[in-house]
């Protein structure tokens, strides 16, 4: 039973990781579009970049949790 819940937790993390990566890519596109527009809203660009960094940190955290510890 504990093994099933561990697999479920890992599956949940993989799902969240995929969602976060997709959102991260979407933010790339949104930031690029705003930067290319004539009247690019610098405050909005700054907010999107901050959100992107938060997502990157969360992605790294999940990837670390999914990577098994290796005892040297």
58: in domain = yes
**Cα 14 from chain centroid?**
11
47 found inside a domain: yes
Query: In total, how many domains does the chain have?
Result: 1
- 71 belongs to a structural domain: no
Q: Residue 40 belongs to what domain range?
A: 2-66
- Which pLDDT score, from 0 to 100, does residue 30 have? 93
Q: According to the model, what pLDDT value does residue 3 have?
A: 62
pLDDT of residue 69: 75
39 vs 19, residue with greater confidence = 19
Residue 8 has pLDDT above 70, yes or no: yes
């Amino acid at each position: 039973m504990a093994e099933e819940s561990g697999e479920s937790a890992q599956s949940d993390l993989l799902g969240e990781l995929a969602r976060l990566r997709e959102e991260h890519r979407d933010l790339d596109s949104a930031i690029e579009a705003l930067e290319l527009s004539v009247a690019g809203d610098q405050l909005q660009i700054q907010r999107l970049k901050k959100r992107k960094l938060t997502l990157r940190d969360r992605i790294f955290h999940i990837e670390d949790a999914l990577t098994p510890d290796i005892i040297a």
